[in-house]
Chain A
Amino acid sequence: MAGGSIRRSSASASAPDSPAAAPRPPRGARLRARATQWELILVYLLVVVFVGNSFLSPYFLDAPNLLDSTFNFMEKAIMALPMMMVIIGGDIDISVASNLALASVFMGMASTAGAPTPILILIGLVSGSIMGAFNGFLITRFAIPSIAVTIGTLSLYRGIASVILGDKAYTSYPKSFAYLGQGYLPGTHIPFELLLFVLLAALAGFVLHRTVFGRRVYALGNNPTTARFSGVRVDRLRLIAFTLNGLAAGVASVLLTARVGSTRPNIATGWELDVITTVVLGGVAITGGKGSIWGVILAVFLLGFVQFGMALVNIPGQVMNIVTGFILIIAIMVPELIKRGRNRASLARLSARTETAARS
């Protein structure tokens, strides 16, 4: 899939008859039914942000610039994919940014010792996965809530990273390594990071929506007890989800380290906010059991371009976080209010009906 098609595919929730989303007619109908109100809202918001940004900068809507701007949020986007699985499964992982930092430190150590690019990638992916699996192990083996465990490992992973680094930084990485975070597909303007995200998003969407594994994740999030009694190996499933989450933090670590070309102890601090906000903004229920890949993909670009727009007008990062924080809260508040309004309406209808029934 070409990277240029990303806007088309992300808009497909509103246009179900586009070829990417609906190769077969019956599926198109199903998709239209499933393309929720929420995803439509995201599409409208995305349009608003595009218009707003192009007012802020005349260069925004230029294709190469647009593609380049995705560099700023592709690492977070990739982390959002398995985070979505974790949250749909009813858990949460707030240690991902610390996981990324420690994986980056391990790559820095190896690079300083002269390791070549393939080894660095391997170290990043493996160490990320191990940290994710460690989270999953503690959560499932000792039956501890994921919030509690990942608060601990948030501190532990970041702590180990700063113990190893001290006040130093790793800054020497091989030239070929930089390609992963800075390079384009040969002969095009498509960033490698963007292509990787598109491929991984397709994979995540397939796994979640088209495989037994994916159905089990939803079952787990809807009701873990029922899932267990229905023969789902709940703990194994959660362990896999957390390991995948760690793996994605490893992937993001490789990309980010390659992009900025250095590892400092505070690398990616606070990214868990952006990643979780993306997932929740994408319409994934924070209580688990609900959410679709299209929503999350839309949210990736919505949040990414909102932050890019703020950067265009030189808003500092921590002030940007005010907006991100509010987006997170509002994204949860609005569906809650809609649900409440609907409940009240149906209650009113019910009482009206019983009243007429009583009168007749």
Chain B
Amino acid sequence: MTGLLKRRETSLFIITVIVIAAVALRARDFLAPGNFEDILKDSSILLIVSIGQLLVILTGGIDLSVASVIGFTGMSVALLDRAVPTVPLLVILLLALLIGLALGSFNGMLVALFNIPPIITTLGTLSIYRGFVIVLSGGTWVSADQMSAPFRDFPQGYLLGISNMISIAILVSLIFAAFFYLTRTGREVYGVGGSPLAAQYVGINVKRINFLVFALSGTLSGLAGYLWVAFYASAANDSATGLELQTVAACVIGGVNIMGGSGTIVGVLLGSIFLGIVKNALTMIRISPFWQVAIQGFVILLAIVVNTALDRRAQASMLKRRVL
């Protein structure tokens, strides 16, 4: 099974390289180091949120509310920064994490405690949280010149020659890679997705895991909420709308099984960068940006069909081996 997973991620890597080569043939600037850094910076937010989505999908759920959590958290911290520009960045960051945690926990509570299916829970909170953005902002937005300098400059900053955006994405990836591979709870997330019933029988607290993944997904979206408004230097009422579909896309492109139980951080990393490359490439070879959503939908479908077919073949070969 791990061999197969590895192969899937390798094939995605090869496809990515082919896309890069194809685009580079049409537009030389695409391969410029500056542009590549732009792609990575642009993909950082997507990667952070997609890791949260990965957690939820691994348990067999889905979190459609991530973009609304980003919108709400981003608006909250931006309004705070506008009202009190002296609030230190660290407090802003902590607050963003906490707001995200609260919103994610609400999702988790509905799913774990009240047995409401994740798709329904988060379809509801997608609208609820987005509605709260409007209530909070009163329909206005926070523009770049209303933000304090440290608030706005952090995502543009560098530490040891690496962009802060990229560092944070790497840090989050490492933390969650450690969570998945080194902690018992991390393994339990896979167990719940593989078979909730079996997980229950071996003594995994399924409710706790279901709550935890939504809480973590919310927390990561909260972090992304601050990064979003600071990186794009504007907190609008509709910021990040539709991002939930991109995170699902990043996961399934990265080989995450949409029914839960299998998928890796490396896959999600490749999936996010792949989407970032496609988005950047469309602009580079001057294709209308309106194509982006359609291509994204097509890629989601293609990835799911391919993943399902591969899974089935793997199962068939496993069965055959057992017969022999």
Contacts and interface: CB of A to CB of B under 8 A. Distances in A.
A151 B245 contact: yes
Contacts of A163: 288, 290-291, 294
A56 interface: no
Given A149-B301, A316-B134, A166 B245 contact: no
Interface stretch (A45-53, A211-219, A298-306, A327-335): A327-335
Interface centre among B120, B259, B296, B309 (most CB of A within 10 A): B120
Contact of B297 (A143, A154, A165, A326): A154
Contact of A156 (B116, B131, B294): B294
Nearest to A272: B123
Contacts of B124: 273, 277, 325-326, 328-329
The prevalent SS among residues of B at the interface is helix
A325 B126 contact: yes
A321 to B, nearest CB: 4
Given A154-B297, A322-B128, A144 B123 contact: no
B201 interface: no
A319 B134 contact: yes
Interface in A312-348: 316, 318-322, 324-326, 328-329, 332-333, 336-337
A151 B117 CA distance: 16
Interface residues of B, number: 46
Chain A interface extent, by class = 35 or more
Contacts of A66: none
B131 A321 contact: yes
A292 interface: no
A333 B112 CA distance: 12
Given A166-B288, A273-B127, A329 B116 contact: yes
B252 interface: yes
Given A155-B296, A163-B291, A333 B131 contact: no
Contacts of B110: 329, 333
A163 to B, nearest CB: 5
B114 interface: yes
A336 B116 contact: yes
Interface of A: 92, 94, 138, 142-145, 147-149, 151-160, 162-163, 165-166, 265, 270, 272-273, 276-277, 280, 286-287, 316, 318-322, 324-326, 328-329, 332-333, 336-337
